[in-house]
Amino acid sequence: MTSMKILIVDDSITIRRIISTALKTVGYSETVEAANGKEALAKLENGNVDFIITDWNMPEMNGLDFIKEVRSKPMYSSLPILMVTTRGTEHDVIEALQAKVNSYIVKPFTPQELKEKIEGILKTVQVNTL
Amino acid sequence: MAQKEKIDDTVETTESVIMALHKVITLLDRIKNAIEESSNKIPKVSVQLNKVTQATELATVEILDVLDVMGTKILTIETSLTEFDQAGISESRMLMLSGMKQTLSELKEHTSNISIALQIQDISTQKINAANHLIESVRYELLDELNYFETARNKTDNARRQAAGETAASKSFDINASYMKTPDHQSKIDDVISAWQEKNTI
């Protein structure tokens, strides 16, 4: 088990539960949840989030606006962000990358795919910070 | 004599115009009533669809709870089997133990697969929300049309305001959401990511 704290942002309680369970099975037990971008920003301010997994389509503040807001703050400029969404067109992926998301995964995903994505991001982040 | 004929013709034409107008008014009245009736039914459809979403979400969470319990129990048995003192036990019992471990591992995989499949609930919710949004938009348009009828105006004003609010405050959704469980889909996305990163790091 790793001590990394992961913020899960999704308006669907089902998906939050599935992600949280999947994370536990692949060794990430510390999670915090938010139902939209606004709520996630508040949770982020509360502290010590090491990684963000966010959906795109959410009420109040969608995932893309949330990522832009996070990236606009210098202290979160290198915080790893993985987008987990149903949106799978090339245009969507590029839009998310332009908003500075680290990687992108489409639903439905497996715990293994989630693990590989997280590890891939962490490797890149480590290389970039060396 | 010719003038009388002209007057008769004019009267006849006027009568037929009035009769046609009567028919148009009756038809418009029927259209108005049909629109009114249809737009009144829409909120009920919308509520029903929301109830379907809530019910499936509740059921999915219950299934996830059961899967959690199963996962914990599987883990407990796995730990017990690992800690089981295997010294001095017969070969047949060793085989049995190994079979049990294999079954537990398969059970874990099955529970994981059920959990993955339950992502369909979120995908179908987005589809329902998209349909609901369309229905609400149609309702708003119908009420807008209905408002042209003087007799319906008072009745529709409130409903129009409500429909406009509901359309604007509708839930977020992806109209193209689909349950595609193929590695191809993700691998195409990974290709887009790689190409974009390559382009943007040079």
pLDDT tens-digit map of A51-108: 999 999 999 999 999 999 999 999 999 999 999 999 889 999 999 999 999 999 999 8
Percent of chain A beyond pLDDT 90? 78
pTM (predicted TM-score): 0.81
pLDDT at residue B176, as a whole number: 78
Q: Which of A14, A21, A94 sits opposite B68 (nearest CB)?
A: A21
pLDDT at residue A30, as a whole number: 93
Whether B196 and A97 lie within 8 Å, measured CB to CB? yes
Whether B57 and A15 lie within 8 Å, measured CB to CB? no
- Quick one: which of A105, A54, A109, A88 has its CA closest to B120? A109
Q: Could you give the dihedral angle defined by the CA atoms of residues A73, A76, A77 and A79, in that order, rounded to the nearest 10 degrees?
A: -160
User: Using an 8 Å Cβ cutoff, are A66 and A37 in contact?
Assistant: yes
Strand partners, A105: A84
ipTM field: 0.82
pLDDT at residue B157, as a whole number: 65
Q: Please say if the pLDDT value at position B120 is more than 80.
A: yes
Is the CB of residue A120 less than 8 Å away from at least one CB of chain B?
A: no
- Quick one: which of A114, A83, A115, A72 has its CA closest to A10? A83
CATH of the domain at A53: 3.40.50.2300
Q: Please say if the pLDDT value at position A2 is more than 80.
A: no
* Residues ≥6 apart with Cβ < 8 Å to A111: A22, A23, A25, A26, B112, B116
Task: State chain B's mean pLDDT as an integer.
Answer: 84
* Reported confidence tier of residue A17, pLDDT bands at 50, 70, 90: very high
Q: Which of A25, A94, A113 sits opposite B186 (nearest CB)?
A: A113
Q: Which residue has the higher pLDDT, B169 or A28?
A: A28
| DSSP, res B170 | P
| DSSP, res B178 | -
pLDDT at residue B87, as a whole number: 74
Task: State chain A's mean pLDDT as an integer.
Answer: 92
Report the domain count for chain A. 1
B29-65 pLDDT, tens digit each = 888 888 888 888 888 888 888 899 999 999 999 999 9
Whether A85 and B174 lie within 8 Å, measured CB to CB? yes
pLDDT at residue B151, as a whole number: 62
Contacts of B177 in chain A (CB under 8 A): 86-87
Cα–Cα dist A103/A93, whole Å: 9
B158-199 pLDDT, tens digit each = 666 666 665 555 577 787 777 777 778 888 999 999 999 888
Contacts of A88 in chain B (CB under 8 A): 180, 185, 188-189
Cα–Cα dist B45/B136, whole Å: 10
Give the structural domain span for A52.
2-129
Q: Please say if the pLDDT value at position A109 is more than 70.
A: yes
The residue written with tokens 């109209």 in the block is B175
Cα–Cα dist B5/A78, whole Å: 94
* Reported confidence tier of residue B91, pLDDT bands at 50, 70, 90: confident
User: Using an 8 Å Cβ cutoff, are B53 and B125 in contact?
Assistant: yes
Selected for mutation to probe chain A from B192, B199, B201 (highest A CB count within 10 Å) is B192
* Residues ≥6 apart with Cβ < 8 Å to B122: A10, A12, A14, A15, A86, A107
Is the CB of residue A102 less than 8 Å away from at least one CB of chain B?
A: no
